[in-house]
Chains A and B, each alone.
Chain A
Amino acid sequence: MIARRLIPMLTLLGWLVSTWPVAAQQGSLEASLWQTYKSRFLDASGRIVDNGNGGISHSEGQGYGMLLAFFANSQSDFEQIWSFTKTELMVRDDGLAAWKWDMATEPHVSDLNNASDGDLLIAYALAMAGAAWDRQDYLASAAALARAILNNVVVERGGRVLLLPAAEGFDVGERPDGPVINPSYWIFEALPVMAVLAPSDQWSRLGEEGIALLEMMKFGPRNLPAEWVSLARQPKPAEGFGAEFGYNAIRIPLYLLRAETGHFALVRRLQEAMTIDGAPAIINLANGEAKERLDDPGYDFVNHILACVSDGKSLPSAARELTSDLYYPATLHLLGYAYVVEKHPSCL
């Protein structure tokens, strides 16, 4: 089935890349920025090193790395990162990627569970790269992964189409408060591409449901979503996780912007609620106070985008350099930067 669809899919993806307002493009990331990022976080073996987390690697990092390599139009780097991802993480029987890889453990995959956002990022990057560089092998892998995501972690619960954070441990019956979701795992911009790879109306419903949930999940005085949310009944912060708007959640406004979903008011509301004294912060939902101020410029980049898009302010020169030394904010910085280059070049 998949094989026979490859050629039309290729055409379709080619069309996607050129015309779809959402689809990101290669070449939107300057070589020098990518070079800096690589020198800090890419190991020769092809793994993206999360230096803020004890030097482990994960499917999310590999997916981000592949996506950024695609934005930088660097086929060779993409190939290098994919080689590692494929041989080390694409080992699960269900076709999803194992999420956690640790140099210090044997086997190196120290948690075989998947992380659904990592899977989405990898499939998305493979699809974009495969279409742009005419690589059927990438497209075949992307299609297989998209199908595995659809079959294993896109589920319908209580009338809603949801993205389970992983294949194990979050669903109804696996936790007393299941299903539990992580709203930041919705990579909105990837969903239309997934629908091309593994056709199903579930993808568009998943996107709509993601937006609806973000509109609905208003916890504490700042009306923010929690990092982990139980949907067993009315949405509420899940048991056993800190009730906070945390590191994961901080990327939601950026994801919404990148996907051009048009929900600007939602982005604005979230961004204002997560900003305290001019900087984004980890928010304690119970009292709405900052638990931790995030001073790294990578976290702040989304504010520059908003300032540009709504007030026409051009990007400050400091934000044009990659100054983050940590993998996560540096990644957010480049994702934001590539978006500005592509969609709002006048801000530069």
Chain B
Amino acid sequence: MSLKLTTLMIAATVSAGLFVAQSNEPTIPPFWLPYQEANGDGERSTPRLAAGEGPDLPALEGVARDIQAMRQTPPKTERLAQAAPIVPFQISQAGQGTIAPGTSEAEVSADQPPAEVDETALRYFAAQGDTARLAAEIARLRQLYPNWTPPADPLAVPPNTDRQLEEMWQLYAQGRYAEVRKAIVERQAANPEWEPPADLLDRLGIAEARSRLVNASELKQYQTVIAVGAANPPLLNCSEVDVLWRVAEAFANTDRQQRAIDAYSYILTNCTDPAERLATVQKAAAILPYGLVLPLLALEKPPEDGAGEFDSIRDDLARRFVAQANEEPSLEIAPEYVDRLKTSATADGPASDALLLAWYYLRRDNADEAAVWFRRAREREDGADPSQGLALALLEQGKPAEAEAVLYSWREASEDATAAYLAATANYLALDPSPKIDEGVLTRMARAVIAERYAPSAQQFGWYARAFDQPQTAAQWFKTALEWAPDDEPSAYGLALTRLQLNDRTGFLELQEKWAKQSARIADLAKTAAGQAEARSSAAVRPDEPAQRDQTASRAAPGTVRAVRSSTSAPAAVAVTTVRRSGCASRVDLSRLSAGAALQRGWCLMELNRPLEAAESFGAALSTSNRSISEDAAYGQSLAYLRLGLTDRAAVAATRAPMRSERARELQASILSDRAIQAFQSDRYREALLYLDQRAQVQQEPVDLMVLRAYSYLNLNRPYDALRLFEAAAATGNRDASRGLADAKTAVGLD
């Protein structure tokens, strides 16, 4: 709907006389008001909109206009001059059009003596001691009749002589609006001459609107909140601060932060209740980003007696700001707030203050300062969170031994703690030169690594054992690492090297055959005639590929422990090997990460071989509209599920974003091989063949799958088909195929 159209609608509405405030009809907030508001934004360039959407936040623009408007109202009595402003917060540009009739009415009535102001409601609220609503009513009447003076004693307002009307007011004062509506119409039916007081109708409409707005706000129906607010200017003033808060919240949650700021500014500029003002700042800080809260703080009243108005909540603000900076490492906040938190943490502030600070420094690559505050937090209150943080800081400082010791007793407190502990073990073992580790510590590390099937540390145990010339033990660890992470090339390399050293020729060849294609260095080992000697002589030396070792050993967050994928389960062999200093082992609220950050975290977790978490992270990245990120995320999630053996989920993930055709083919091929293997292992051979056939349509069948196919035929009692395939496969030198060929020959009686 274009703005032109909306303007026309307003004109039509007003000229039809249906929604002018003076109308005797109880006005139902019409639904097109919100649309005016929503569509009006950004379409017409007026100072206010420019202020609202522009980058340079002259947030006081709206306020200035409000003040100008106040100045236009005629002089008031002294009492009024002291009182709260009568110009309501104006929700929108378009809203002005609809507010106009009411405003002009106020101006007109200002020129005339207020004929008769119905003060009945004042007496009810006063009698009930309902000061909030008494104040609201006074504000409302002032808005309507600018030169009206509130009675000194509302209780002295004479009761209505009209008993029925008196009852209506009573129902109204009790908040029984539906019953007032009923009573009015009932009386009109009985006495067509009777006109309900306009005052009562107005107030009833406003009260119903307030209920509706509050209900919508509780249910997070922000469009409705804004629409109802726009249609009811009397709800938007200092006597209705709760409504203003809700309107501000609605704006902030519908991507109109500047409008939220306008509402908060309105309160801080115009309203005087000290508690409400403080609460306004706190609400704004809870909902708006740091940079937008600062201008609001500037609306603090000038200090009296040396104390600033917002002093009592500055500590709380500092906590919020630092916490926000923790979520967003690129956010720079004023040092004043960090200092304030330091003062609190050093004095008798809660452990959580020190913790906030510690994370703040850790996220800003200041491990030394972070360690200080993590220790402080642990002194106050030891727990998994500060211990985990301290361990990460120690890892950053290159002190994995201490990190291991700090985190050991908390390693099972959470998944993140476990991950950080495992990272500490890997980094500890990888120290160069290899440290002598206490046997008790070695044992407990080994237990944890085995319990979690953590391949990177198993690999490091392998290297560690080699460093102390225990090749048997080393071979066992490398083999274990390969069982847990079959694609881990460094483990295969370590194992190959160690088997050569142990003179295990068969074992070495077996590995070599499997890995030669993917790993040049393993292939090279075989070529070197002196391979064995070399392997033996290098027993006490670090493996000869510094790139691998350096990365693992470098003092760094756990994210640097690298797992290399081979092409068997992740055919695309994603080359995400950048070392990220921030790492991904620490806990994060995924919903707060940007899609790009979630994607990065996903790859980082894949490197740590934590596919389950990686899948979650990729999932969070999927929800973006950035096509390239969502494609990568879908791809990553699919790989993660494949690594977990969750083939069906991998298949679903693969469909979650359109993908480049080669990637899609690779994924599909991987998924289908996994399915075929699973079917085969469950003795469902027909199904296995079905998957293999499907797979063959996307990608050529590799030898190992040909063998699988052949065995499926054999099991389905089709030995001749099997024989033909085994022959072809065995011709490539595949050992399984040769074995299969023998089986098939037996089956057809050729043996």
Q: Across the interface, do A45 and B26 meet the contact criterion of CB distance under 8 Å?
A: no
Once the chains are docked, how many angstroms separate the CA of A46 from the CA of B177? 9
Q: Given that A79-B181, A87-B212, A91-B215 are known contacts, is A3 also in contact with B25, CB under 8 Å in the complex?
A: no
Once the chains are docked, how many angstroms separate the CA of A79 from the CA of B216? 21
Q: Given that A3-B9, A76-B183 are known contacts, is A109 also in contact with B219, CB under 8 Å in the complex?
A: yes
| A2 interface contact, C-beta 8 A | yes
Once the chains are docked, how many angstroms separate the CA of A7 from the CA of B13? 11
Among A6, A112, A148, the residue within 8 A (CB) of B219 is A112
Q: Which B residues touch A76, using CB under 8 A?
A: 181-183, 185-186, 189
Q: Across the interface, do B178 and A45 meet the contact criterion of CB distance under 8 Å?
A: yes
Once the chains are docked, how many angstroms separate the CA of A4 from the CA of B30? 13
| A90 interface contact, C-beta 8 A | yes
| B334 interface contact, C-beta 8 A | no
Nearest CB of B to A279, in Å? 37
Once the chains are docked, how many angstroms separate the CA of A82 from the CA of B178? 8
Q: Given that A3-B9, A109-B215, A137-B25 are known contacts, is A77 also in contact with B30, CB under 8 Å in the complex?
A: no
Nearest CB of B to A54, in Å? 21
Q: Given that A76-B189, A87-B215 are known contacts, is A137 also in contact with B221, CB under 8 Å in the complex?
A: no
- Report B635-692 residues with CB < 8 Å from chain A CB: none
Q: Across the interface, do A136 and B25 meet the contact criterion of CB distance under 8 Å?
A: yes
Nearest CB of B to A235, in Å? 28
Q: Given that A76-B186, A109-B215 are known contacts, is A45 also in contact with B176, CB under 8 Å in the complex?
A: yes
- Report B1-40 residues with CB < 8 Å from chain A CB: 5, 9, 12-13, 16, 18-19, 25-28, 30-32
Q: Across the interface, do A4 and B12 meet the contact criterion of CB distance under 8 Å?
A: yes
Q: Given that A3-B12, A3-B16, A44-B178 are known contacts, is A93 also in contact with B25, CB under 8 Å in the complex?
A: no
| B388 interface contact, C-beta 8 A | no
- Report B159-215 residues with CB < 8 Å from chain A CB: 176-179, 181-186, 189, 208, 211-212, 215
Q: Which A residues touch B222, using CB under 8 A?
A: 93
B176, B178, B211, B222: residue with the most chain A Cβ atoms closer than 10 Å:
B178
- Report A118-153 residues with CB < 8 Å from chain B CB: 135-138, 140-141, 144, 147-148
Q: Which residue of B lies closest to A75 (CB)?
A: B185
Count CB-based A-B contacts (< 8 Å). 107
Among A79, A86, A112, A148, the residue within 8 A (CB) of B182 is A79
| B224 interface contact, C-beta 8 A | yes
| A18 interface contact, C-beta 8 A | no
Q: Across the interface, do A80 and B16 meet the contact criterion of CB distance under 8 Å?
A: no
Residues of A in contact, count (CB < 8 Å): 40
- Report B678-714 residues with CB < 8 Å from chain A CB: none
Nearest CB of B to A121, in Å? 18
Q: Report whether over half of chain A's contact residues are helix, strand or loop; otherwise say mixed.
A: helix
B18, B30, B181: residue with the most chain A Cβ atoms closer than 10 Å:
B181
Once the chains are docked, how many angstroms separate the CA of A237 from the CA of B438? 69
Q: Across the interface, do B178 and A91 meet the contact criterion of CB distance under 8 Å?
A: no
Once the chains are docked, how many angstroms separate the CA of A138 from the CA of B181? 14
| A254 interface contact, C-beta 8 A | no
Once the chains are docked, how many angstroms separate the CA of A246 from the CA of B32? 39
Q: Given that A3-B13, A87-B208, A136-B25 are known contacts, is A80 also in contact with B178, CB under 8 Å in the complex?
A: yes
Among B13, B26, B27, B216, the residue within 8 A (CB) of A91 is B216
Once the chains are docked, how many angstroms separate the CA of A264 from the CA of B234? 55
Once the chains are docked, how many angstroms separate the CA of A44 from the CA of B178? 8
Q: Across the interface, do A83 and B177 meet the contact criterion of CB distance under 8 Å?
A: yes
Q: Across the interface, do A83 and B9 meet the contact criterion of CB distance under 8 Å?
A: no
Once the chains are docked, how many angstroms separate the CA of A108 from the CA of B18? 32
Q: Given that A44-B179, A45-B178, A79-B181 are known contacts, is A3 also in contact with B212, CB under 8 Å in the complex?
A: no
- Report A66-114 residues with CB < 8 Å from chain B CB: 75-77, 79-84, 86-88, 90-93, 95, 98, 107-109, 112
Q: Across the interface, do B219 and A44 meet the contact criterion of CB distance under 8 Å?
A: no
Among A2, A81, A86, A107, the residue within 8 A (CB) of B218 is A107
Q: Across the interface, do A93 and B223 meet the contact criterion of CB distance under 8 Å?
A: yes
Q: Which B residues touch A77, using CB under 8 A?
A: 182
| A212 interface contact, C-beta 8 A | no
Once the chains are docked, how many angstroms separate the CA of A137 from the CA of B181? 14
| A1 interface contact, C-beta 8 A | yes
Nearest CB of A to B169, in Å? 17
Q: Report whether over half of chain B's contact residues are helix, strand or loop; otherwise say mixed.
A: helix
Among A4, A84, A87, A95, the residue within 8 A (CB) of B16 is A4
- Report A275-305 residues with CB < 8 Å from chain B CB: none
Q: Which residue of B lies closest to A94 (CB)?
A: B223
Q: Which A residues touch B208, using CB under 8 A?
A: 83, 86-87
B18, B182, B218: residue with the most chain A Cβ atoms closer than 10 Å:
B182
Q: Which B residues touch A140, using CB under 8 A?
A: 18, 28, 30
Nearest CB of A to B540, in Å? 62
Nearest CB of A to B36, in Å? 12
Q: Which B residues touch A136, using CB under 8 A?
A: 18, 25
Q: Which A residues touch B25, using CB under 8 A?
A: 135-137
Q: Across the interface, do B215 and A88 meet the contact criterion of CB distance under 8 Å?
A: yes
Report A25-66 CB contacts with B as 1/0, cut-off 8 Å: 000000000000000000011100000000000000000000
Q: Across the interface, do A91 and B16 meet the contact criterion of CB distance under 8 Å?
A: no
Q: Which B residues touch A112, using CB under 8 A?
A: 219, 221
Q: Across the interface, do A107 and B176 meet the contact criterion of CB distance under 8 Å?
A: no
Once the chains are docked, how many angstroms separate the CA of A79 from the CA of B18? 19
Nearest CB of B to A17, in Å? 19
Once the chains are docked, how many angstroms separate the CA of A141 from the CA of B31? 8
Q: Which A residues touch B215, using CB under 8 A?
A: 87-88, 91, 107-109
Q: Across the interface, do B177 and A87 meet the contact criterion of CB distance under 8 Å?
A: yes
Q: Which B residues touch A46, using CB under 8 A?
A: 178-179, 181-182
Q: Across the interface, do B12 and A75 meet the contact criterion of CB distance under 8 Å?
A: no
Once the chains are docked, how many angstroms separate the CA of A136 from the CA of B184? 17
Q: Across the interface, do A98 and B219 meet the contact criterion of CB distance under 8 Å?
A: yes
Nearest CB of B to A167, in Å? 12
Once the chains are docked, how many angstroms separate the CA of A247 from the CA of B104? 55
Q: Given that A44-B178, A80-B179, A140-B30 are known contacts, is A86 also in contact with B212, CB under 8 Å in the complex?
A: yes
Q: Across the interface, do A91 and B219 meet the contact criterion of CB distance under 8 Å?
A: yes
Nearest CB of B to A245, in Å? 34
Q: Which B residues touch A6, using CB under 8 A?
A: 16, 18
Q: Across the interface, do B178 and A83 meet the contact criterion of CB distance under 8 Å?
A: yes
Q: Which A residues touch B32, using CB under 8 A?
A: 2-3, 144
Q: Across the interface, do A91 and B185 meet the contact criterion of CB distance under 8 Å?
A: no
Once the chains are docked, how many angstroms separate the CA of A77 from the CA of B185? 9
Q: Across the interface, do B182 and A80 meet the contact criterion of CB distance under 8 Å?
A: yes
Q: Which A residues touch B184, using CB under 8 A?
A: 79
Once the chains are docked, how many angstroms separate the CA of A148 from the CA of B223? 14
Q: Which residue of B lies closest to A78 (CB)?
A: B185
- Report A197-253 residues with CB < 8 Å from chain B CB: none
Q: Across the interface, do A137 and B177 meet the contact criterion of CB distance under 8 Å?
A: no
Once the chains are docked, how many angstroms separate the CA of A135 from the CA of B184? 14
Once the chains are docked, how many angstroms separate the CA of A89 from the CA of B469? 77
Once the chains are docked, how many angstroms separate the CA of A88 from the CA of B209? 10
Report A299-340 CB contacts with B as 1/0, cut-off 8 Å: 000000000000000000000000000000000000000000
Nearest CB of A to B127, in Å? 22
Once the chains are docked, how many angstroms separate the CA of A221 from the CA of B176? 53
Q: Which B residues touch A83, using CB under 8 A?
A: 177-178, 181-182, 208
Extra contacts besides A46-B181, A83-B182, A135-B25 (18): CB < 8 Å: A2-B9, A3-B9, A3-B16, A3-B18, A4-B9, A76-B185, A80-B178, A82-B181, A84-B178, A87-B212, A91-B216, A92-B221, A98-B219, A107-B215, A107-B218, A109-B219, A112-B219, A137-B27
- Sample 27 A-B pairs with CB under 8 A, ordered by A number: A1-B9, A3-B12, A3-B13, A3-B30, A46-B181, A75-B185, A75-B189, A76-B189, A79-B181, A79-B182, A80-B178, A80-B179, A81-B178, A86-B208, A87-B215, A88-B212, A91-B216, A93-B221, A93-B223, A98-B219, A109-B219, A112-B219, A136-B25, A140-B18, A140-B28, A144-B32, A147-B31
List 7 tightest A-B contacts by C-beta distance, closest first: A46-B178, A93-B223, A83-B178, A80-B182, A144-B31, A76-B186, A91-B216
- List A residues at the B interface (Cβ < 8 Å): 1-4, 6-7, 44-46, 75-77, 79-84, 86-88, 90-93, 95, 98, 107-109, 112, 135-138, 140-141, 144, 147-148
